Chain A
Amino acid sequence: MYGLDAAFSALADPTRRAILARLAKGEATVNELAEPFEMTQPAISQHLKVLEDAGLIVRRVEGTKRPRRLSNTGIEAMDQWLAMLRKALETNYDRLDGVLEGMEKQEMEKHKKGKKR
């Protein structure tokens, strides 16, 4: 099947997601990609190969350089990833709504007890 397993395992690795996030800002060479991760070029190249095989990034030839950029699939994948982060945050705040409601009830209980005294 085209890309499913490959794309899934490609995205499961945080370094590869970070590479995709970097590429979401624009095209970059292997050197530029290796820099923020304190990884060797061969290690980065290996990650790039996984991403390429998964159809998430594409390369261009420019002299001796092979700058990478996100493919359309890669752009969609990053959008989806950001939507998941948003979802995780939203889940927290929805839960906080419940906590705040509980706090308010406790306050009201206290007031009631206070009045009785």
Chain B
Amino acid sequence: MSKMTLKTEGDTQLIVTRHFTAPPEAVYRAHTDPKLIQKWLLGPEGWTMPVCINEARPGGKFRYEWTNRKGGGFHITGEYVELEPYSRIVHIERMHLPDPTPDNHIETRFEADGAGTLMTMRMTLPDGKTRAAMLATGMERGMGASYDRLAEFLMSLSARGMERGAGES
């Protein structure tokens, strides 16, 4: 399935789009109801979100804590700026690794798209360096289940590297 798109825009933005077959009201609820958020905002297999505090109102705060039950974990805190049921959410968040990352301003739009929904999430980072750092450190949980694939990939690089020799540098 390649329903999702992920692209950078300008120096500081990152845009994710995804189509859902459910109507905007349901997709919006799944983004704001902590009981629903806990079911899907988890990253790779093996991660859970034992703490999901979410005050979905302008000025309301949220806190998500993830763990892989193997000593790995981190959390995100944030504040809601605007909420327009069921079409738009504006919020600010930062990751604690454990030091807080610079604020990420995120606008999420839910538009009717046929019988379903087109979600467009626009993240704006303070500057290009922060965006680069976020892409590198962000979604740290993305690593957990992917280490195997990374190892495989590096194995293939290594094979090619041997073919190439040190000619590159």
Contacts and interface: CB of A to CB of B under 8 A. Distances in A.
Top-8 shortest CB links A-B = A88-B142, A17-B136, A100-B22, A21-B132, A21-B136, A14-B137, A18-B136, A95-B40
Contacts of B150: 8, 11, 80, 84
Nearest to A7: B154
A26 to B, nearest CB: 10
Contacts of B146: 84, 87-88
Given A84-B149, A88-B139, A92-B41, A100 B26 contact: yes
Contact-residue size bin, chain A (C-beta under 8 Å from the other chain): 35 or more
Given A88-B141, A89-B139, A95-B40, A4 B155 contact: yes
A3 B18 CA distance: 37
Nearest to A35: B129
A101 B143 CA distance: 28
A95 B142 CA distance: 15
Contacts of A71: 168-169
A86 B21 CA distance: 20
B55 interface: no
Contact of B4 (A11, A36, A89): A89
Interface string A1-43: 1111001100110110111111011000000000111000000
Interface in B36-89: 36, 39-45
